[in-house]
Structure 1
Amino acid sequence: MAKGWISGDESAKEMLGRALKDRPLLMLPSPLNRVPLGVNNIVEILGPSPSAKSEILLQMAVTCILPKNRNGVEYGGMGLSVLFLDLDCRLDIFRLSQSLKLQITKAIRLHKVTNNQKDGEYEIEELNLFTECMKRFSYTRCYDSFEFLACLKVLHYKLEKDRSMDGSASGVRVLMIDNIGAFYWIDRVFSSLPQGNTSRKNICLQSVTEAVVQEIKKLLMLHPLLVVATKTVTSQVKSSYSSRVSIPLYREYMPSIWQSFVTHRILVRAADDKRKLNDRDSYLAEWLLPALKLTDQFVVDDNGITTLMRGLVN
């Protein structure tokens, strides 16, 4: 078998096709569509509060749970299940359901206009699709690091159960964590307190973060997932790449084991007042890893996230 693998011959096109079939890229909404992302990538969305971090996760979830097409209607989704771990305990489920309903309604309305169909059709289809999509969204709240770790440990069994029941390739492909640094200060204070039992390993911020990273790594070994985590920036300073370009930076506070675990990092922040559009606050997104040195501007409204300008020099 090894000899056959070594002597095998395939073109670059065949190799890429095989690799993308096993590890497909995910077509994510703005501003995450600037770079190719797939399973086993760890994406960190960081920024001050508020900077639309949770909204990006929400719109990404809608895109994932919507199907690509169904009964001749193009919805533009991916038909994948999503695991959402809410460490901030602030996700607006009503906002998620409203965004999902709006996307379904828009797709059906466009299909009716294109095919000259009467109003009154697809009402049952719209309701059934909404129910089907919401079943693909799994939501869990965690109130401290220990609940978070316990949740990560049981995810493996949940995914195995879902795979055995579903039996298809289109299963859970995305794990969302909002916000990975939610318990940082609590864990930091707790680690400074005296530990009573010296025979046990001391619980500290570093050990908790190491355990989180190890559990996610174990999960990825058996279940290929795209992990997307938000992180709130506590403070910002100004720096520059050159004498004429000034960019905001952030002060890193997560332990180094998490920093090295992240494969992609994007910074989002509110734009200044001069960039408002119709009294709507606009936001800027910049990829730090990989460092593109480009900024995208977007707004958030009832339609979700709308990109205004792309490729602005920051």
Structure 2
Amino acid sequence: MREQILHDLANVYPVSPEQEARSLNVPAIDVLLEVFMLKAMGPGAEHRQPHPPSPEQRAAQEQNRLAEEMLFRGEEETAPATEPISPSNVFFSDSAYRSKRPCPVVEISSNLSGAGKTELLYYLVALSILPRAIGEIPVDGQNAAVVFIDADDRFDAERLRTIARAIVRKSYGSMDREGSGEESDVSADDIEAILLSALKHVHVFRPESSSALLATLESLDEYLYDISRHYSASRPLQMIAIDSATAFIWLDRLRDEIARTEDIGRPQAEIERERELKLSFFVSDLYAELVKQLKRLQSRFGSAVVFTSTVPEARPAKNSTEYTGPPGPFDQPSSRTPALRPALPAPWGTFPILRLVVQRDTVWPFPPTMSAHDARSEASMRQSVVLQGKFSAWVNAWGREEWPRRVVDGISYTGGSFPFYVKASGVEIPLPE
């Protein structure tokens, strides 16, 4: 009965303008995501883009949004009782639009720790929860909610607030450089209050196994529909973030190996029957169910899925040179594209639409033949490079030989990579040139 009610609600309430963007609000990532989005939609996808809503539809959606805000503030409703609730609510979303265009699924991977995966994920989360503007200053946030699945048990709310604060300060700095002459009446205390309010829309879950993660995903919509348990009723669900999707992979493989050992000598028909009844453990079945639940939640809420993963080792892709480190200023991106085999078994391996590989840019060590005098003269320069905190992200080239020509051309056109900077004060991603 509950599933039928949710299905009916999803078909009654239209999608909001905020949900139509289908982007992560980061130009450097969105331009790459758009290339692979066409691949996910199949041949001819560029001719099947949905039309934007009419001005009348946008006006009706804005009226509904204002009505719902009044409702949740406890104010008296001035519109007729038959007016629908805001479509921006995380509970109501339309599947018609999402059937035309898939929701973003992004993997951020590396073969080393400290490569910037979580920092980049925090940056995306911060953009999701921040408001679109503070006073007269545009912040370019999504004013949305985020579900953060902390599989590594290392979620740092203070670091997330620092990154969000840096985004706001950069917005103020941009206005100052433009010389608008306008003075904002928003104080530092007001900004901190806004940041604190935004953080309330990050819903953190800490599963301790893949089975617990599956149970979390299965009950996630029930949690989101219960407006007595959180503050995000009037916001869309922008993202389901998982840090890290490979947290339990070794435990799952061990469990699967033990289960396969116990099956030795048993009739195959009996093994298959127990598998169909889900009485025995199969790691492939578990991961297939995890992806199934994520797709179900995306279909219901129209949210992106962004997850981190750690790949044990780097391997070269076919028709690609072996990854030897971050590209230099005169290197062609396609000649040094990293290729990491998916760390997660199918269908996880094919679930992401865009797969990124990140790593901190290398500062090469002093040559053994360098004199002490030369080393001292270069030390300050090398230290300044380290303090820049420069990281790089590339499109993962694994499976490149199977990409359609339009994807290869799109990656060549965009360069297939972008830098980002991680400092104590926050994270910054420069605009594409």
Whether TM-score is above 0.5 comes out as: yes
Task: Give the Cα–Cα distance (whole angstroms) in 1 for the partners of residues 316 and 287 of structure 2.
Answer: 28
1:136 maps onto 2:201 in alignment: yes
Question: What is the aligned-residue RMSD (CA, Å)?
Answer: 3.5
What is the Cα deviation at residue 143 of structure 1?
A: 1.5
1:40 maps onto 2:103 in alignment: yes
Aligned amino acid, residue 47 of structure 1: S
Q: What is the aligned partner in structure 1 of residue 124 from structure 2? A: 60
* Structure 1 residues 93-242: aligned runs within 5 Å: 93-107=157-171, 114-115=180-181, 117=183, 122-162=187-227, 168=234, 170-194=235-259, 199=274, 201-238=279-316, 241=319
What is the Cα deviation at residue 255 of structure 1?
A: 1.4
Q: What is the aligned partner in structure 1 of residue 417 from structure 2? A: 295
What is the Cα deviation at residue 271 of structure 1?
A: 2.4
Q: What is the aligned partner in structure 1 of residue 390 from structure 2? A: 282
Which is higher, the Rg of structure 1 or of structure 2? 2
- Distance of aligned partners of 1:181 and 1:166 in 2 relative to their CA distance in 1, 3 Å threshold: closer
SS in 2 for 1:249: coil
Task: Give the Cα–Cα distance (whole angstroms) in 1 for the partners of residues 20 and 238 of structure 2.
Answer: 10
* Equivalent pair of 2:361/2:391 in contact (CA under 8 Å): yes
Structure 1 spans left out of the alignment, 5+ residues = 1-17
* Equivalent pair of 1:240/1:246 in contact (CA under 8 Å): no
- Distance of aligned partners of 1:181 and 1:30 in 2 relative to their CA distance in 1, 3 Å threshold: farther
- Distance of aligned partners of 1:306 and 1:107 in 2 relative to their CA distance in 1, 3 Å threshold: closer
What is the Cα deviation at residue 261 of structure 1?
A: 2.1
Percentage of pairs with the same residue: 19
Q: 1:247 aligns with which of 319, 337, 342?
A: 337
Task: Give the Cα–Cα distance (whole angstroms) in 2 for the partners of residues 123 and 305 of structure 1.
Answer: 20
Deviation by residue 1:268-300 (Cα, 9 ceiling, x = unmatched): 123221597532343221123755253323321
Task: Give the Cα–Cα distance (whole angstroms) in 2 for the partners of residues 242 and 108 of structure 1.
Answer: 43
Task: Give the Cα–Cα distance (whole angstroms) in 1 for the partners of residues 304 and 142 of structure 2.
Answer: 13
- Distance of aligned partners of 1:186 and 1:166 in 2 relative to their CA distance in 1, 3 Å threshold: closer
297-306 or 228-237, which deviates more: 297-306
288-297 or 83-92, which deviates more: 288-297
* Equivalent pair of 1:181/1:254 in contact (CA under 8 Å): yes
69-78 or 188-197, which deviates more: 188-197
SS in 2 for 1:278: helix
* Equivalent pair of 2:309/2:343 in contact (CA under 8 Å): no
Q: What is the aligned partner in structure 2 of residue 3 from structure 1? A: none
The TM-score, its normalising length taken from structure 2, stands at: 0.59
Task: Give the Cα–Cα distance (whole angstroms) in 2 for the partners of residues 107 and 73 of structure 1.
Answer: 7
Q: What is the aligned partner in structure 1 of residue 134 from structure 2? A: 70
- Distance of aligned partners of 1:298 and 1:102 in 2 relative to their CA distance in 1, 3 Å threshold: closer
Task: Give the Cα–Cα distance (whole angstroms) in 2 for the partners of residues 102 and 24 of structure 1.
Answer: 24
Task: Give the Cα–Cα distance (whole angstroms) in 2 for the partners of residues 206 and 82 of structure 1.
Answer: 28
What is the Cα deviation at residue 204 of structure 1?
A: 2.2
Aligned amino acid, residue 164 of structure 2: L
**Which is strand-richer, 1 or 2?**
1
